Structure 1
Amino acid sequence: MASIELDKVLDKAWADKSLPEILAAPVGALKGVSERDGELLREAFGVRTVADLADLKYVRWAQALAALDAASK
């Protein structure tokens, strides 16, 4: 399983939270995602939390396509 440095992907306020807290957090907990970005994601796709974003089918499709491309090289 890949590891991730939480302080590099999370807003400072969320870096010391538990994984369940992070997954339940608004997408603005992710570094670089603004409150407005979160509003737009909610309006467009119904995404409210980090877990919702991870489950978004378009994100999963894009990840699968990128993995296929990486595997073909």
Structure 2
Amino acid sequence: MASIDLDRVLDKAWADRSLAEIMEAPAAALKGVSERDGELLEEAFGVKTVADLAELKYVRWAQALGALAAAAK
């Protein structure tokens, strides 16, 4: 199983939280996602939490396409 450095992907306020807490955190808990970005994600796609973003079908489609493209190289 791959590990992830939470300090690299989360705002400092969230880096020491449990995974369950992180998944219920607002999307802005992700490093690089501003409060305004979070508002826009909610307006456009109904995304309120990190879990919502992870489950968003467009994100899953993009990940699948990326994996296919990488495998085709």
TM surpasses 0.5: yes
Q: TM-score, normalised by structure 1?
A: 0.98
Helix, strand or coil at the partner of 2:48? coil
Provide the aligned length of Structure 1 versus Structure 2: 73
Q: Secondary structure at the match of 2:21?
A: helix
Equivalent runs, 1:1-73 vs 2, <5 Å: 1-73=1-73
Normalising by structure 2, we get a TM-score of 0.98
Cα RMSD after superposing both structures: 0.5
Q: Runs ≥4 in structure 1, deviation > 6 angstroms?
A: none
Structure 2 runs not aligned, ≥5 long: none
Structure 1 gaps, min length 5: none
Report the identity percentage: 81
